[in-house]
Amino acid sequence: MQQAYGGVKFGANVVFTGEAVADTAANATALGDLVKFAINLAQMQAPKTPETQALINSVTVTPSGNVLKISASLPQDVFTKMLEPAQKAGSSMAPRSRK
């Protein structure tokens, strides 16, 4: 891989995008196959919540020449619901003040 970048756009839908530039089209396709394999593994291992399944099902992997494009999109309310367990865990791990 020669270059990679990504971004997140917040709105009614939260859209994740990424691109990876490979040295050849064959390598971009091979990387895309590896990403699809990882998504299939995630689908088997991830919690069977509607939010997780929606995220996994929304992922698209598209090789175009030597560029691999990856995107996923979730409605904002689904994205927010996915963050709730992490926010709760984070608040319980906050440092306590000493007296």
Provide the residue ranges of all domains of the chain, joining segments of one domain with +.
3-92
Smallest Cα–Cα separation from 53: which of 74, 83, 68, 25? Answer: 74
pLDDT of residue 51: 83
pLDDT of residue 14: 95
pLDDT of residue 8: 96
Regions of the chain short of the pLDDT cut 70: 86-99
pLDDT of residue 83: 83
3-state SS of 57-94 is HHCEEEEECCEEEEEEEEEHHHHHHHHHHHHHHHHHCC
pLDDT of residue 90: 57
